[in-house]
Chains A and B, each alone.
Chain A
């Protein structure tokens, strides 16, 4: 929104409130609408010279400060607050619902969302649903530890190898992206920055040990950046499996009529093998060192389990 629009928005928000609350103190109007005293008076001066065609004394609005009270008169056509744009209504409701679903909402927020929702969709129904839940308890605990600068002992199962390991971490922040919660932290065990998926944290315990959080911790970057030790494979996807390109950090090598050729990077060959198994005939391995062996091994492990039963 341009600065002009922002300023007009504030004027058209302030006027109805002052009209509905005659005798409001300058300080209160300033607090409520984020004005400095000078800016408020500048806006009132501006209103004072506007009004209806003719623009005589009886046509102009009245707006000024007297005895530290804000006076507005002859401006009844601006007595109603402005309608919210769809984006604004959605933004407020979605933010409220997200907080409610995360289990951190005060009762006032639940009431506010209910009222706002009823005003925006008067004919009823619950038209909006936002679910960012996951592991509310763990998320809350990690966030508190991050805010208080407490070292946390976690037991973490990595997605790639599936190995479970105890780690000692300095939690920086917790964020939700692509439907999962992530913890960004300094891992003392690995001696480096790490991103952990919260639902893969099996257990977590906050210790008494304090650490000094970085002034400006890096944002939680969920996008997967291939590292030097990563395994790469080239895979041909049929058109039905194109969705893979939207769910995984991949590189499109070739976009064909028959499908997509992608380059897939992962920290462990097991991740690629699992994906290929899951896709079945929708994907074919073009090349990738060790991937065919890993896939064969995975196949035989699963089949032998089923065979022995």
Chain B
């Protein structure tokens, strides 16, 4: 068997009807995690809750996972996604969701004992970090399924019309990361770390706007 025949780039340039599933799933994955971070921003600015340090860490892992899928989305915008690109993207996302799963598990365990009310609001009966743990774990399974069916879902050639959706996905991700840069700067101010239980936007006090 020739060596190049077992390499991913030897897969068909364009497969069957399912050949573009991975590209669209990468878009969904990136938008999905970005949307989850938007949920955190909703509770921060609409419900006026202050995200704790571990909440912020989980947002970072979510955005790193989205960037992994973003690698595939970006390559697809130019019409060619190699096997290396698919593997690199999903590999990065897998590492990020595993790390995020640990962070959210840790925060869940902090509040697992009977009588502990947990940190922040509940959504459908579960706290945000419990949902994060569920979604991180589900993402591991999803990436496994995607990789298992890569032979028929990962076309190397994509149509030029995929450029616009790719730009929208990466633009959405970029805007949400930028909002987080500003939001956490306000919460942290000119300090190296967030307090364990934040109760105010430190920057406003550091600048003397509030006393």
Do A and B truly interact?
A: no
